């Protein structure tokens, strides 16, 4: 990939690894989390699953096509950003991207329902699958991941073996009042209520 200027090839990296590339020309692939504009500047908040970083598009440093595209991007558009990593003390990461190029891979067909403004709990629960992309629930998932990983590491160090009990079972193992029935390729199956029997068999 060429930037059309110096002919350099960008380093493909992730937001979470950006500190290792200060001063380098990089390529990031992800989604537009938020965007604001101020005259000759577009500030793109881009996320890729490993973090969120600000990408600054200055009208005097990019082509007219790139600057216009930055101003038209919709929230959650899938994009590729190529630019230079520079230190910025105001950034939570300590870095930002000076944009050279922006490539639109895919735009949402409808307006993304969860805007950066405040929303009520009922609304967020209704759009739970999308809310997980926001910073707060994403941070909660990261904490849960660390706790679960630590628990598994502790048990593994103690010589225990992880056994995954089946999710579906042909019969009830506890009371039938909480039994959830489902169709399994024409057969009746139930969501398992307990993994106890399988754990005893594997012990």
- Predicted pLDDT of residue 24: 95
In the chain (203 residues long), the average pLDDT of successive 10-residue segments reads: 58 95 96 91 93 94 94 94 94 92 92 77 82 83 95 95 88 74 90 84 85
Q: Please give the pLDDT value at position 42.
A: 96
Tell me the residue length of the chain. 203
3-state secondary structure of 25: strand
Distance between CA 91 and CA 128 in Å, rounded?
A: 28
Give the pLDDT score at 175: 67
pLDDT at residue 62, as a whole number: 94
Quick check: 46 and 53 in contact, CB under 8 A? Answer: yes
What was the pLDDT predicted at 113? 77
Residue 114's pLDDT is what?
77
Stated as kind and residue range, the H or E segment containing 121 is helix 121-126
Partners of 55 in the β-ladder: 44, 97
Fold for the domain defined by 11-106: OB fold (Dihydrolipoamide Acetyltransferase, E2P) (2.40.50)
Closest to 78 (Cα-Cα) out of 133, 148, 155, 11? 133
According to the model, what pLDDT value does residue 120 have?
82
């Amino acid at each position: 990939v060429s930037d059309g200027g110096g002919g350099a090839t960008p380093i493909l990296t992730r937001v979470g690894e950006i500190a290792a590339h200060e001063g380098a020309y990089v390529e990031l692939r992800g989604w537009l989390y938020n965007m604001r504009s101020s005259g000759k500047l577009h500030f793109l908040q881009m996320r890729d699953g490993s973090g969120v970083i600000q990408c600054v598009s200055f009208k005097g440093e990019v082509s007219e096509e790139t600057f216009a595209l930055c101003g038209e991007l919709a929230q959650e558009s899938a994009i590729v950003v190529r630019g230079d990593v520079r230190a910025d003390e105001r950034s939570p990461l300590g870095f930002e991207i000076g944009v050279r190029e922006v490539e639109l891979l895919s735009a949402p067909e409808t307006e993304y329902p969860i805007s950066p403004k405040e929303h009520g709990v009922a609304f967020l629960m209704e759009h739970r699958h999308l809310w997980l992309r926001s910073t707060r629930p994403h941070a909660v998932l990261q904490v849960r991941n660390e706790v679960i990983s630590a628990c598994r590491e502790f048990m593994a160090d103690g010589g225990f073996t992880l056994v995954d009990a089946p999710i579906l079972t042909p019969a009830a193992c506890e009371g039938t009042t909480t039994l959830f029935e489902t169709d399994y390729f024409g057969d009746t199956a139930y969501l398992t209520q307990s993994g106890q029997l399988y754990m005893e068999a594997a012990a």
